[in-house]
Structure 1
């Protein structure tokens, strides 16, 4: 049985990549459809919109900029840490140097243009 379904609503984990901090927020299960569509949590420190990382996200240490960069690249490529709680979100690369290969093997693109844009974003 899925632990997230079995033990009630868990708070969602949101990350601020600017401040390299995470904050737990009210679960989708506790909100109406309208509230879910309109919700945007701002970082209490810098007021930037935070990113929904999923229940299984474990934040790196705040001063570990390489790991935060890795997490941000994965998130922007569509890989967060959402799961039902049974098996976790699946494999995620341990090092920043492994991200480009991981994304190219696992990402499904809607168009050739999206694939090219993704490839160019890793070169910057």
Structure 2
């Protein structure tokens, strides 16, 4: 028996975020149609927490990270499974983050 997971999708155009349940033993789509604007909503995984629609600074940071291959996947460093890197809080920190963790980006 496999456990279904709620995956977060977000549209960077209209800043709409929504979740859909998937069984991870089957393929989960990387994109879906945005239910708000019919644009592209990207899969940001199980751990993504969308900011308020009006928080333009945070959405710019999310878009920057996404453009550089970071879809809020867990980045593990070290030998322990608990050694997880926290995502940056600001766009300035995100610029440093993409350089430091470029080997963990998803193409």
TMscore range, shorter length: 0.7 to 0.9
Quick one: structure 1 residues 43 and 87, their matched pair in 2 at CA, closer, same or farther if it must change by over 3 Å?
farther
Query: Residue 92 of structure 1 aligns with which residue?
Result: 87
Local SS of the residue matching 1:45: coil
| TM-score normalized by the length of structure 1 | 0.66
**Deviation (angstroms), 1:104:** 1.1
2:71 maps to 80
Tell me, yes or no, if structure 1 residue 67 matches structure 2 residue 58: yes
Question: Which residues of structure 1 form unaligned runs of 5+?
Answer: 1-5, 110-124
Of the two, which has the highest radius of gyration?
1
Looking at secondary structure, tell me which structure has more strand per residue.
2
Matched pairs, number: 97
Match of 2:21 in 1: 26
Larger helix fraction of residues: 1
Per the normalisation by structure 2, the TM-score is 0.75
> Per-residue CA shift, 1:65-94, capped at 9, x if unaligned?
0101101111121112234xx749631110
Residue number in structure 1 paired with 2:78: none
Gaps of 5+ in 2: 75-80
Cα distance per residue 1:28-77 (max 9 Å; x no partner): 4274x5xx46x741111211111110100011111000101101111121
Aligned-CA RMSD value: 2.6
